[in-house]
Structure 1
Amino acid sequence: MKSLPFDPALLDTHCIVDVRSPAEFDEDHLPGAVNVPLLDNEERAEIGTIHKHQGPLEARRRGLELTAHRFPAMVAQIGAQASGRPILVYCWRGGLRSKTVVSILDLTGYPAVQLTGGYKSFRAQVVSYFEPFNPPAPLVVFHGMTGIGKTTFLQKLGHRYPVVDLEGLACHRGSAFGEVGLRQTLSQKRFETLLWDSFRRLQPGVPILVEGESRRIGKVSLPGDMYDRMRQSVKVWCQASLETRVTRLIAEYGCIEYKEEMERALQRIRKKLGEERYREIAEHLDRWELEPFMMRLMADYYDKVYYKTREWQEDAVICLEDFTAAEGELDLFLNQILGRDRSS
């Protein structure tokens, strides 16, 4: 039976089939993989218990009893997903589960290979990619106070420049109210895989735009030494008036369905606000007075906590009052960077 070591190019040429349990798949999986589990979550736990107490032979026999009847349906599902492409099958570490499925596919005429070392080998490559982190091009990191519109601006630039949307990948805005309207259910491993895949797809040599973040974005963290690398990269400081920031925050959060989530988020920063300020801000939220709520939230929390001290000097300052004008400013600045890179 043929097996292949992991190579990123396989993701673009093969139908990637993950035969692990749904719970394993949900925690993380190879980009683009389809889950065709040989064992479901409960069956995998049962086989593990048998293997521990009765040995591998009894575990294999029980595994055959549980799975043999579903082989035809699995082959049909994988064949439909492959659509003529070669098939790469993996399990946790390139063991019996993927070997079994590859053997059955081979018997039924489908070109299939096993991933050497399974998911574990892929995971090792993702970890090593960020330790140390050497992006395929220089990073340009955008900083600025809450509500300025950095995320929206970068999204608008995505059709012209390579952009890695850290908050989008993390399903969190990276602030005290960052999960309002979102659900950050992904694991740390899943975040790292999505991040690795985003960098993998970028054109080398063209500056990569990212938003400045803390080490943690909600419940997940920037992997390896990526945070330190961002601190050492080109920095753009973004500015906008308080009125513009309030308007943009209201546009993002001004949905009455978010009110309970916003109340919970406000409760989490209650101690930092102090009781008197908390009550005043909470009253605005309770009455759904979003303009004074956002004003007070920035004045009494965000602008005091975020970027309270900066140990670095920005390389450029861009005004985000008007995104079109800001795009022109950025073009000039990036052309200067590219010019320096070409001459160095």
Structure 2
Amino acid sequence: MPPKTPPPAAAPTPRSFSWVSVLVGLIAVVAAGLAIVDPSEVLHLVSTFGGVSINATVPDVGVDCAQAEQFLTDAVPVKGFHVLCIKKGQAGETLGITAYKDGNAPAMTTQSSLEFGHLKTQLETLLDIEGPKDEVAIKYKQPYAFFTPEGKRLEELDQMVDQLVFLFEGGQFIWPGVRIGHKTVVKDVAGKGDVVLETLSLIPLVFSVEEFLKDEEIDVIMELSLEHLKPSTVTLMDGHENRAATDWRTSTTYFLSSEKHPVLDEIDQRVADLTKVSIDNQEDVQVLRYEETQKYDHHTDYFPVEHHKNSPHILESIDYGYKNRMITVFWYMSDVEK
């Protein structure tokens, strides 16, 4: 996938809201794989201003499987997200596996040999992980992947023994929301140090981040963008081909390339550090302005395959649903009275 190439804007469905002179920046992060949640549960990371706290930490060695409970939710199953505790047996010849399917209790257990392939087979059986079923899926579907709870991808068995491990069937990391009000520390974010994600919603999954942009960075973005703003467009869904974009969207937009200023490169890295998804998967920043009475109707930022069956170029651009927008990072760069 070519880096920094923005797909067209998603087509909305009816339900409008209006803003009063709000300037918004957003980056959509595209991942070549299925999201771990239902499409209606698309992840949004919303940059706002608020208080912070911290969550528990995970021990590096001699893991206590009870530590996995801090990542579980009792609110809703998170389809395709599984929390694992993998420990070597007393004789050192087997692995004991404790797994929490879809991020929920109760625990499930099984055993494996010390061979990575056998571990995967046991997990696939225990967690009902299915392989690709047709030619399109065989060609495009990303395999499931393992990560540390901090978002580092794990490629070898030695990295997983005596550790807590996240398994994502979609092959990409997403921070678990756990519960509304839950707070997760993301360490070593470029230009910010440690930052805190606070869960605002589980469906859809929404986090807030305190002061993600610096004032001087906002000044640069505004200086580079305001004179280039043009009426926003949408990608029309099947059945809407002859309708005007203003039926849904009346804001103005500018796609700001990171090549325009060095400060944008640092922001790109900051977004990658926050989301744990590579810069190569980011689109150009979309700078949006909403004047009084302007709106963007309720919509999804990803492209539902079932709504674009009459648009082969859209289907090809999203690998028939196996590559899509996974995360939207919003920056609110101005404030208004409520």
Query: Same fold judged by TM-score > 0.5?
Result: no
TM-score between both structures, scaled by the size of structure 2: 0.24
Is the radius of gyration larger for structure 1 or structure 2? 1
Give the strand-richer structure, 1 or 2.
Answer: 2
TM-score between both structures, scaled by the size of structure 1: 0.24
Higher relative contact order (CA 8 A, sep 6+): 2
